[in-house]
Amino acid sequence: MQDSEIQKELTEKEEQSAVAKVFNYRLVKEKTAGGLMYILTIASLVLVVVMGIGLYLKSAPIFEEHSLGELIFSSNWRPLKGQFGFMPFIAGTVWVTVVAVLWVLPISLLTAIFLTEYAKSYVKKYVFPALDILAGLPSVIYGVWGTLLIIPWISNKFAPHFVDFSTGYTVLAGGIVLGVMILPLLVSLFIEIFSSLPTELRDASTSLGATKWQTSKKVVLKKSFPGIMASVVLAISRAMGETIAILMVCGNLPEVPRSILDACYPIPALIANNYGEMLSLPQYEAALMFAALILFVVVLVFNVISRVILYRVEKSYA
Amino acid sequence: MKHFEEQMMRFLMFVATLIVFGFVFSIVYAILKQGWGSMSWDMITKLPGGGFYIGKEGGFLNAIVGSLYIVGASTILGLIISIPVVFFLNVYLKSQSKTAYIARLAYDVLFGIPSIVYGAFGFTIMIYFGLRTSVLGGIIVITLLIIPIFIRSMDEVARNFPRDILDATYSLGATRWETIAVVLRQIAPGIATATLLSIGRAIGDAAAVLFTSGYSDSIPTSLSQPAATLPLAVFFQLSSPIKEVQNRAYAAALVLTIIVLILSILGRLISSKFSKNKL
């Protein structure tokens, strides 16, 4: 009897305080808004996870008949016969990306050093908008540029020195186009890293009689090495996912390329090219979703590693 | 010796920068030259007519309107979703917060995920809900694609937002939510440049809409109809063997390039105008 009375009293008190809270609607607004925004913010993380799970579930049927090793290392791509070897596509992606990074890394490093260490502000006033334009141009425009200029150049001028005949739709073409596409990203990441380096370090070096280049080489480049590596990894992951431009210039033959003058067929091009047909064969759809899953996982891992390193770099000098 | 090295490196750096310029001019010039030759008034004011894909008359108004629909809607949706997130990250959470760190990392990762993966993922979701390729699908996927860009570029601006202003509003008795008006006014230029950046990315993306909004020769009249987009108009028409159709691809590429160039110039103007008298 007494217990229930106390209980009653307690609930009444609770109700009263709840009523008081409701009346302070400004605080309620603050809290609900906060809660909603918290959900929105966390949704980003959820989206990453859901994407991974969704792609895995969709590609699961293919694991029933093929092992992971077989899928990745086999070169037999005959979807109609149920053979799904992804080696040609993985090799194509790696070849194109390596070619792109190899030629564009020295150029972007030199440009970034030039802009942070040497250039006067009026030079920057012209270079930055140019980089902006490069960064803003859509993938398909790079593809058109590739087919207009790069393909004929390879086919008529470059390839005849090495092979009898080339259509121009090659690893090299993909590498060149992709390189130009990641150039602005690399330059802007490098500039950010170099300019976060304290000026005192440079002053110390020059006061010992080092020239500007010696300072750049032995202080700036050396100090920012982790950041440079992280940027390159980030650029690689960007390059691997590029689709339309690559689709337009790579030739799209499902064979492992043996030289940079062979055609290749990177993973994104495979997905984009076959999406219409894939619904007719469940295994085929699963295979293409597996291709998307490979891309997703590699890009995810590369991005997390490089971003964490870049955050640290940013923080250490901030 | 070291001065020789210095001179040589200087020269190489100069050359590298020139190469960057060379690429910009080469691309813009190639597109302008090829596009201008095949441009006509009909291209941007007419829908594809009968026999369009074997070189008969018509234009690509369907692609221009389709792109505008999708980009317009997803930009507005993107703004509505990302402004609260940026506000939450910078006002509600402390700068050392673990949640903020993880959320920023997640958005950076989402920014890095290729649009083709967004497309494939969006496509599976659409099948799950029984949707066909449609404007709606395109809008959803493009919104997901540009939210990370919105958030990360606004966040860059909001992070440098002076804390004193927040303290001033708190001392006047405002709750954290009520400071939103002050914060928004302060980061307005950042919102503007982020919007332009996102529009640029949204209008140029082909891989994501390839799966989700499909392609059609007419202007969509409802959300459930497929729509053409400019990048896909370029891509599909360029693969045609017929000269006239290819020329239309170049004209569409020209339109797309001009839009992107205008966005880029506007972005520069806004950021330079506001960085002069920043607080």
Q: What is the mean pLDDT of chain A?
A: 87
What pLDDT score was predicted for residue A114? 93
What pLDDT score was predicted for residue B80? 93
Picking from A55, A109, A120, A133 by the largest number of B CB atoms within 10 A of its own CB, the best residue to mutate is A133
- Judged against a pLDDT cut of 70, whether residue A165 lies above it is answered with yes
Do the chains contact at A111 and B17, CB–CB below 8 Å? yes
Longest dimension (CA), chain A: 102
Picking from B81, B102, B257, the nearest residue to A137 by CB comes out as B257
Note the pLDDT tens digit of each residue in B229-243: 999 989 888 888 888
Do A215 and A277 fall into the same domain? Answer: yes
Average pLDDT on A190-207 reads 90
Residues in chain B within 8 Å Cβ distance of A187: 20
3-class secondary structure, A160:
helix
Picking from B3, B24, B88, the nearest residue to A37 by CB comes out as B88
What pLDDT score was predicted for residue A301? 94
Do the chains contact at B20 and A303, CB–CB below 8 Å? no
The dihedral over CA atoms of A218, A222, A228, A230, expressed in degrees to the nearest 10, equals: 180
What pLDDT score was predicted for residue A89? 92
The C-alpha of A221 sits at a distance from chain B's nearest C-alpha, in angstroms, of 14
More confident residue, B160 or A17: B160
Among the ranges A119-128, B67-76, B171-180, which has the highest mean pLDDT value?
Answer: B67-76
Note the pLDDT tens digit of each residue in A48-86: 999 999 999 988 888 888 888 888 888 888 877 778 888
- Read off the CATH number of the domain in which A102 is found: 1.10.3720.10
Which percentage of chain B shows pLDDT scores above 70? 95
Spell out where B148-238 has E strands.
none
- Judged against a pLDDT cut of 80, whether residue B95 lies above it is answered with no
Do A35 and A80 fall into the same domain? Answer: no
Whether chain A has a CB inside 8 Å of the CB on B269: the answer is no
What total number of domains does chain A contain?
2
Picking from B105, B211, B238, the nearest residue to A144 by CB comes out as B238
- Judged against a pLDDT cut of 60, whether residue A288 lies above it is answered with yes
The C-alpha of B78 sits at a distance from chain A's nearest C-alpha, in angstroms, of 12
Do A83 and A139 fall into the same domain? Answer: yes
Do the chains contact at A141 and B257, CB–CB below 8 Å? yes
Nearest-angstrom CA–CA distance, B255 and A227: 38
The C-alpha of A257 sits at a distance from chain B's nearest C-alpha, in angstroms, of 23
Do A59 and A187 fall into the same domain? Answer: no
Average pLDDT on A170-192 reads 94
Do A160 and A56 fall into the same domain? Answer: no
On the CB side of A181, CA atoms within 13 Å amount to: 32
Do A260 and A300 fall into the same domain? Answer: yes
Q: Is the ipTM of this complex over 0.85?
A: yes
What pLDDT score was predicted for residue A82? 77
Whether chain B has a CB inside 8 Å of the CB on A41: the answer is yes
- Judged against a pLDDT cut of 70, whether residue A33 lies above it is answered with yes
Q: Which segment of A159-168, A261-270, B17-26, B98-107 scores lowest on mean pLDDT?
A: A159-168
Do A47 and A176 fall into the same domain? Answer: no
Question: Residue A72, by phi and psi: left (phi above 0), alpha (psi -120 to 50) or beta?
Answer: alpha
The answer to whether B264 and B173 have CB atoms below 8 angstroms apart is no
Chain A residues 255-274 with a CB less than 8 Å from chain B = 268, 271-272
Picking from A25, A37, A93, A134 by the largest number of B CB atoms within 10 A of its own CB, the best residue to mutate is A37
Whether chain A has a CB inside 8 Å of the CB on B175: the answer is yes
Do A115 and A52 fall into the same domain? Answer: no
Please identify, among A33, A65, A97, the residue that sits at the C-terminal boundary of a domain: A65
Do the chains contact at A58 and B124, CB–CB below 8 Å? yes
What pLDDT score was predicted for residue B278? 46
Q: Which segment of A15-19, B11-15, B139-143, B223-227 scores lowest on mean pLDDT?
A: A15-19
What pLDDT score was predicted for residue B279? 42
Note the pLDDT tens digit of each residue in B119-141: 888 888 888 888 888 899 899 99
Please identify, among A44, A65, A86, the residue that sits at the C-terminal boundary of a domain: A65
Burial B226-261 (b: 16+ CB within 10 A, else e): bbbbbbbbbbbbbeeeeeebbbbbbbbbbbbbebbb
Closest to B227 measured CA to CA, from B94, B86, B60, B38: B60
More confident residue, B146 or B160: B146
Do A51 and A139 fall into the same domain? Answer: no
Note the pLDDT tens digit of each residue in A100-111: 999 999 999 999
The C-alpha of B48 sits at a distance from chain A's nearest C-alpha, in angstroms, of 21
The C-alpha of A126 sits at a distance from chain B's nearest C-alpha, in angstroms, of 9
Please identify, among A11, A30, A65, the residue that sits at the C-terminal boundary of a domain: A65
Residues 6+ apart with CB under 8 A from A40: B81, B84, B85, B88
Nearest-angstrom CA–CA distance, A85 and B230: 34
Return the structure tokens found at B255.
Answer: 């339109």
Range of the domain at A13: 2-65
Do A134 and A283 fall into the same domain? Answer: yes
Q: Scanning every residue of chain B, which has its alpha carbon at the shortest distance from the alpha carbon of A142?
A: B27
Average pLDDT on A252-256 reads 85
Do A48 and A113 fall into the same domain? Answer: no
pLDDT category at A159 given cuts 50, 70, 90 is confident
Average pLDDT on A19-25 reads 62
Do A38 and A109 fall into the same domain? Answer: no
The C-alpha of A43 sits at a distance from chain B's nearest C-alpha, in angstroms, of 9
Average pLDDT on B162-167 reads 85
The answer to whether A174 and A99 have CB atoms below 8 angstroms apart is yes
Return the structure tokens found at B212.
Answer: 């989700």
What pLDDT score was predicted for residue A22? 54
Chain B residues 35-64 with a CB less than 8 Å from chain A = none
- Judged against a pLDDT cut of 60, whether residue B276 lies above it is answered with no
Return the structure tokens found at A38.
Answer: 């918290």
- Judged against a pLDDT cut of 90, whether residue B145 lies above it is answered with yes
- Judged against a pLDDT cut of 70, whether residue B50 lies above it is answered with no
Picking from A25, A128, A140 by the largest number of B CB atoms within 10 A of its own CB, the best residue to mutate is A140
